[in-house]
Amino acid sequence: MPDNVLEVAGLHRAYGDVRAVDDVSFTLPAGGSLGIVGESGSGKTTTARIVVGLERADAGEVLVHGRDRTGRSRGRAQRLARAREVQMVFQDPYLSLDPRTSVEAVLRETLRLHFPGKDHAGRIRELLDQVGLGTRAADALPRQLSGGQRQRVAIARALAVEPAVLVLDEAVAALDVSVQAQILNLLADIREQTAIGYLFITHDLGVVRCVTDDVIVMRHGGIVEAGPTASVLEAPEHPYTRLLLESVPRPGWDPDRIAAARRALR
């Protein structure tokens, strides 16, 4: 089996004359954590959607455990198999949870779809414990949960199918800072327990610094810098990466200077 759980090579995706993703390549080792950072319109979310299978690339390859995911699925069985390989957690879990469905029912539905004919009660308890909710939350509806608890449900649902890769698209951006820390600590614990690979899509360099081993920086659909997270954030080589770091508010931060630097990079 390949050392890299995920290999992305030469991805291209255009919308008319706009190159949303332009020759993007990267790898993710089993148990690794890779961040993709960039501002809105950089191509990071489109890249993530191609990896998951929500969009098709115009060219390029996405391999999971060496198996190509870029072609059309042939039948329901292959669609389900691909879904089990890569799962996605979105920014707002409330939009992806049925407001009329309890936490237990959400997990049971996922398990029945992918693993029919089994008794899922024990696995549901295991998943709730794994994400720090416990069985007390099993009967709750999404509206009865906090934002952090709903995100834990979304993570549990993604983990239910035992994916090789978990794609997290701004997964903590809508949460309070203290809740963000709890979710990031939870994800770190899960990675240690399961050796799952993480692909973090974010504009937050603090999140990248906290939870990723490596990072790629995207701008206008392409990669402008890549490497170990500590090296890229401590000694960035590309002007755009330096601009992203300088854009983080801190004492003495000058928004006018940042705006001028941004215009100069266009």
* pLDDT, position 258: 39
Query: Domain check: are 70 and 125 in the same one?
Result: yes
Say how far apart CA 124 and CA 103 lie, in whole Å: 9
Contact 92, 150 (CB under 8 A): no
* Average pLDDT value for residue range 28-54: 94
Please tell me the predicted confidence (pLDDT) of residue 261.
45
User: Hey, what long-range contacts does 228-236 have (CB within 8 A, 24 or more apart)?
Assistant: 229/35, 233/205, 233/208, 233/209
Q: What is the mean pLDDT of residues 110-115?
A: 93
The answer on 163 and 83 residing in a single domain is yes
Residues 15, 183 contacting (CB under 8 angstroms): no
**For residue 265, what pLDDT is reported?**
56
Clarify whether residues 182 and 254 are in a common domain: no
Q: What is the pLDDT of residue 249?
A: 52
Please give the pLDDT value at position 74: 74
Whether the per-residue pLDDT at 251 is higher than 90: the answer is: no
In a shared domain, residues 252 and 184: no
Is pLDDT of 254 > 90?
no
User: Are residues 134 and 122 part of one domain?
Assistant: yes
**Which range among 15-29, 54-68, 82-96, 153-167 shows the weakest confidence by mean pLDDT?**
82-96
Mark whether 100 and 78 lie in a shared domain. Answer: yes
User: pLDDT of 188-239, one tens digit each?
Assistant: 999 988 889 999 999 888 889 989 999 999 999 999 999 999 999 999 999 9
Asked whether the predicted pLDDT for residue 79 surpasses 90, the reply is no
- Assess whether 140 and 192 both reside in one domain: yes
Q: State the Rg of the chain over Cα.
A: 19
| C-beta neighbour count of 39 within 10 angstroms | 15
Sequence-distant (6+) residues with CB within 8 A of 169 are: 45, 48, 88, 89, 90, 91, 201
- Mean pLDDT of all residues in 16-21: 94
Q: What is residue 253's predicted lDDT score, i.e. its pLDDT?
A: 42
- pLDDT value at position 229? 96
Query: Count of domains in the chain?
Result: 2
- 179 lies in the same domain as 261: no
Q: In which band, very low, low, confident or very high, does the pLDDT at 266 lie, cut at 50, 70 and 90?
A: low
Is 242 found in the same domain as 230?
no
Is the pLDDT at 143 greater than 50? The verdict is yes
Q: Give CA separation, 16 vs 19, 48, 56, 60, 239, in Å.
A: 8, 20, 15, 18, 28
Q: Regarding predicted confidence, which is higher, 227 or 247?
A: 227
pLDDT for position 226: 97
Do 217 and 242 fall within a single domain? no
pLDDT number for residue 263: 52
Shared-domain flag, residues 89 and 181: yes
In 52-85, which positions are buried (b, 16+ CB within 10 angstroms) versus exposed (e)? bbeeebeebebbbeeeebbeeeeeeeeeeeebbb
Mean per-residue pLDDT over the chain, rounded: 88
State percent of the chain over pLDDT 70.
92
3, pLDDT greater than 90: no
Range of the domain at 103: 4-235
